Amino acid sequence: MITLYGIKNCDTMQKAFKWLDAKKINYEFHNYKELGINKATLELWLKHFPTDKLVNTKSTTYRALTDAEKASITNKSKAIALMMKNTSLIKRPVWDLGDDKFFLGWDEKEVSKLF
């Protein structure tokens, strides 16, 4: 089963939902704005994605961080703490395709190759 992680009202997430629904692909949605995200999940993702890719440095939330907080993103444990505290910092969507396979973001062409 595919698990899609993100925030329900995000435009990028809406594209992913519509694409999955149109292809009739079953998935679970983990809304980390409501449910939060745990340290173990973030640690797993950071085995697959570099910190500077998992943290959405273009987000309003990132821009609101202090310079010290932005600089701390290079430290995995500090980045994890920031993402747990501010889930909007996490790039969306994170695709858990099962079997330790993950994809980050939305690119219809690339996502199509995965299915």
Q: How many residues appear in the chain?
A: 115
* Cα separation, 13 vs 9, whole angstroms: 7
Selecting among 2, 3, 7, 10, the annotated active-site residue is: 10
Q: What DSSP letter does each residue of 38-77 carry, written as one string?
A: -HHHHHHHHHHS-HHHHB-TTSHHHHTS-HHHHHHTTSHH
Give yes or no: 10 in active site.
yes
* Cα separation, 29 vs 73, whole angstroms: 26
Active site residues: 10
